[in-house]
Chains A and B, each alone.
Chain A
Amino acid sequence: MLLRVDNVSISFGGARILSDVSFRVDASGVKGLIGPNGAGKTSLFNIITGFYRADAGEVFLSGTGLTGLRSHIVARAGVGRTFQKPSLAWHLSVFENVLLGSMNNRDLGLVTRRARLREWTEQCLRACGIPPERWQEPMARAGIILVKKVEFARAVSLSPKLILLDEICSGLSNDETDEVLYLIREYGDRNRCGVLFVEHDLRAVQKICADVVVLDFGVVIYDGGIKGAFSDRRVVEAYIGGQDA
Chain B
Amino acid sequence: MLKVSALNAWYHKAMVLTDVNVHVREGSFVAIVGPNGAGKTTLLRSIVNLHEKKSGRIELGGVDITRDPAHRIVRKDVAYVPDYRGILRTLTVKENLLLVRDRYGKASDFKEAVDDILERFPHLKGRYNQLASLMSGGEQQMLAIARALLLKPRILLIDEPSIGLAPLLVKEIFLHLSGLIRQGMSVLMVEQNIVRSLGASDYCYVIEKGRVVLEGESRLLSARDDLQEKYFGKSAG
Contact = CB atoms under 8 A, between A and B. Distances in A.
B35 A173 contact: yes
Which DSSP category, helix, strand, loop or mixed, fits chain A's interface?
Answer: loop
Given A37-B136, A241-B167, A85 B84 contact: yes
A42 B165 CA distance: 13
Which DSSP category, helix, strand, loop or mixed, fits chain B's interface?
Answer: loop
Contacts of A1: none
A145 B126 contact: no
Nearest to B85: A85
Given A85-B137, A144-B36, A240 B168 contact: yes
A171 interface: yes
B213 to A, nearest CB: 15
A37 B165 CA distance: 6
B204 to A, nearest CB: 16
Given A13-B130, A37-B142, A173 B192 contact: yes
B235 interface: yes
A132 interface: no
Contacts of B134: 12-13
Given A173-B233, A173-B236, A175-B235, A15 B36 contact: no
A143 B37 contact: yes
A145 B166 contact: no
B26 interface: no
Interface of A: 12-13, 15, 35-43, 84-85, 143-145, 167, 170-176, 178, 200, 202, 238-242, 245
Given A173-B232, A200-B162, A241-B172, 10 more contacts: A12-B130, A15-B126, A15-B127, A15-B130, A35-B166, A36-B166, A37-B139, A173-B35, A174-B237, A202-B167
